[in-house]
Structure 1
């Protein structure tokens, strides 16, 4: 099911890319856009994880430089039946995290310094378990490729605006088409990101709570991260908004945005779902050390 959904979403992004190409250059533009989309998909498959990690200045750590973090990741990966992913730290005061990689064998988990400084060990374990759930559910490839292609769509739409504007002197149908590209392209890409993120965040919360064995650890972490994310800007995310859906909580500082256009489900709803899962599992939500300690 995940692979079918991945194929459908990537086909939709490619079709959107071709549509923008057609508005810019007619049939030839659509063909060129198709070739660019194919090249982008291929490049993103092999390199999108490195691109995203580089965009956030993430540095790889090991047991010598971050022993507690690496031990938590390794222990939870064992519980999830996954290879131990590479671990990265981003120098950013906003508490947040994401996972990336084309498959579990090439996965990486990245956390911010703000996350390490503001969460308890148990809350950190809940966040790591959530990210490992994305890896186990094979979400990371789709989420990372979508970030790459969505960014390309936004750039193509902006290029079409300027190209079409110069060609038509900013008047008549050409100018209208250019404005449509400028608005509809990024909006459509954002809607695809939203569709990916919302359904998969709930699934990753559920599986992450089961991996950690204590869903309330993640619930507590989500509440803390959500509160801080609205107060502490993530400038790298602001400069790379196409990657916002990859984070455990939306890293962008937009205000007054309608709920329809957010990349993540309501944190309140996510916490409620985790509370229900805790009741189903009969866990107390206590803060004892986990079996990976």
Structure 2
């Protein structure tokens, strides 16, 4: 966790930690199972290293890939003075390094933050959100995104996803090892490998979605306490969700690649519940309403 003035959420942090622990346990269990299956520690280690290398590359290039996926460009303080001014104020308030600022030429109203570290981060908004939100709402959205940066959520999600990457690679290695044996047990062995692969992928997929939803709730909470205006974030979420539903399909498809990074999923394909990358809007609004009630109570 990066040091900043964003409020800590012990409950959500504990749940995210437990989810990460389960993903790690899944990975370790998979490695052990594959070692038993292929009886080749060296080969399994090589594939595991490749999986880690792929995850590292995804993390290292996360800002570049996300900016390209969202058709975004970096803007200077001269090109977007009001947007930079908001980011400057929030970063000073949060006591964190200022990230780069970008704008995506998309009519879908949304925002995202990415980057391998706070020093290499970028916070990006779409032209659609600039036209949809007022100043207080936009500031609340930026506070949410800066919380992702301060809490190194891109790193957290990348580490978590490496378990799924390793699962696929290791199971593929197990299949190849089984086929090379060339005995009568080859087909059953490959079928078992495929079944285990599907189960591991499914569990990893669901745990990643759970972790993603937790980090969104945590960012909502941290952003709301930083600005002390949870109502502004609630209003922004409602506007973004409403406008997003009316956005042309072409825009949604073009931004879908980076959907999980956005404050509201740009393209969810109708997924909900365990399959969703973001918590339900109603759950987010209820959390913000509780924070508003807490902040409204008289001191003492």
What TM-score results when the alignment is normalised by the length of structure 1?
A: 0.76
Tell me the residue number matched to 1:174: 190
- Contact 2:90 2:143 survives alignment (8 Å): yes
Once the 2 structures are TM-superposed, how far is the Cα of residue 35 of structure 1 from its aligned partner? 1.2
The one of 189, 202, 209 equivalent to 1:187 is 202
Structure 1: give runs of 5+ residues left out of the alignment.
284-293
1:277 aligns with 2:291: yes
- Contact 1:100 1:141 survives alignment (8 Å): no
Tell me the residue number matched to 2:84: 70
1:104 aligns with 2:90: no
Tell me the residue number matched to 2:156: 142
Once the 2 structures are TM-superposed, how far is the Cα of residue 91 of structure 1 from its aligned partner? 2.3
Flag the structure with more relative contact order, 1 or 2, with Cα contacts below 8 A and sequence separation at least 6: 2
SS at 1:98's partner residue?
strand
1:235 aligns with 2:253: yes
Once the 2 structures are TM-superposed, how far is the Cα of residue 122 of structure 1 from its aligned partner? 1.6
Q: Compared with structure 1, are the counterparts of its residues 186 and 62 closer, same or farther at alpha carbon in structure 2 (3 Å cutoff)?
A: farther
The one of 261, 266, 270 equivalent to 2:280 is 266
In 1, the alpha carbon distance for the partners of 2:259 and 2:32 equals 24
Tell me the residue number matched to 1:245: 260
Once the 2 structures are TM-superposed, how far is the Cα of residue 221 of structure 1 from its aligned partner? 0.7
C-alpha RMSD over aligned residues = 3.7
Deviation digits for residues 131-180 of structure 1 (CA, Å, limit 9, x no counterpart): 11222233232135556x478469759978x989x999xx7553564366
The one of 201, 204, 208 equivalent to 2:219 is 204
1:226 aligns with 2:215: no
Q: Compared with structure 1, are the counterparts of its residues 191 and 157 closer, same or farther at alpha carbon in structure 2 (3 Å cutoff)?
A: farther
In 2, the alpha carbon distance for the partners of 1:193 and 1:101 equals 19
- Contact 1:214 1:278 survives alignment (8 Å): yes
Q: Compared with structure 1, are the counterparts of its residues 50 and 218 closer, same or farther at alpha carbon in structure 2 (3 Å cutoff)?
A: same
In 2, the alpha carbon distance for the partners of 1:212 and 1:157 equals 46
In 1, the alpha carbon distance for the partners of 2:207 and 2:265 equals 15
In 2, the alpha carbon distance for the partners of 1:109 and 1:9 equals 30
Q: Compared with structure 1, are the counterparts of its residues 258 and 63 closer, same or farther at alpha carbon in structure 2 (3 Å cutoff)?
A: closer
Moved more, 53-62 or 136-145: 136-145
SS at 1:99's partner residue?
strand
Count of residue pairs brought into register by the alignment: 276
- Contact 2:104 2:125 survives alignment (8 Å): yes
Q: Compared with structure 1, are the counterparts of its residues 191 and 109 closer, same or farther at alpha carbon in structure 2 (3 Å cutoff)?
A: same
1:216 aligns with 2:234: no
1:11 aligns with 2:24: yes
SS at 2:61's partner residue?
helix
Moved more, 59-68 or 225-234: 225-234
Q: Compared with structure 1, are the counterparts of its residues 106 and 32 closer, same or farther at alpha carbon in structure 2 (3 Å cutoff)?
A: same
Q: Tell me which structure has the larger Cα radius of gyration.
A: 2
In 1, the alpha carbon distance for the partners of 2:261 and 2:112 equals 6
- Contact 2:112 2:124 survives alignment (8 Å): yes
